[in-house]
């Protein structure tokens, strides 16, 4: 029997809500330039998603460097400044424990473009038209 406070993916609404709050906070910190890091101030970074663990103690932050420029350097800078981000998130989100942040590159855009290429293939298009 499904619980009423879960989404179709099985994650609770609370996890999604807290993840969105964390995403907004991190995006705000980066857009306002509150991080004193040359790499982060010189690159545009998008926080695409934040997934919270069920106990809300860990947050996996998916990022995409806009224009795909120096994503490894941006990830390194984010990981270097993790303590600052954790402290700011803990101040702004009222939780029992401060979430530990883990930054990862978001590969969903690459996967989507790969699928688009596959669907644009003439052989696949021919098969789709036959249906």
Give the global pTM.
0.75
Confidence of residue 1 (pLDDT cuts 50, 70, 90): very low
Spans of all domains in the chain: 13-106
User: How far, in Å, CA of 61 to CA of 23, rounded?
Assistant: 8
Q: Considering the chain, what is the average pLDDT of its residues?
A: 83
Contact 92, 48 (CB under 8 A): no
CA 2 to chain CA centroid, nearest Å: 27
pLDDT digits (tens, 9 = 90+) for 25-40: 999 999 888 888 888 8
Which of 1.10.3720.10, 1.10.150.120, 3.30.300.20, 3.40.1280.10 would CATH assign to domain 13-106? Answer: 3.30.300.20
pLDDT digits (tens, 9 = 90+) for 56-88: 999 999 998 877 668 888 899 999 999 999 999
Q: Which residue has the higher pLDDT, 71 or 89?
A: 89
In terms of Cα–Cα distance, which of 90, 94, 92, 60 is closest to 78?
Answer: 60
């Amino acid at each position: 029997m499904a619980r009423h406070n879960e989404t179709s993916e099985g994650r609770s609404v609370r996890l999604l809500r807290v993840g969105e709050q964390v995403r907004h906070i991190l995006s705000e910190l980066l857009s306002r330039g509150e991080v004193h890091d040359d790499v982060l101030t010189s690159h545009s970074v998008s926080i695409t998603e934040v997934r919270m663990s069920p106990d809300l103690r860990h947050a996996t932050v998916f990022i995409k460097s806009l224009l795909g420029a120096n994503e490894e350097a941006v990830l390194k800078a984010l990981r270097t400044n993790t303590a600052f981000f954790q402290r700011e998130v803990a101040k702004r989100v009222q939780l029992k424990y401060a979430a530990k942040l883990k930054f990862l590159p978001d590969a969903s855009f690459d996967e989507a473009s790969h699928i688009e290429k596959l669907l644009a293939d003439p052989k696949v298009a021919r098969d789709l038209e036959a249906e």
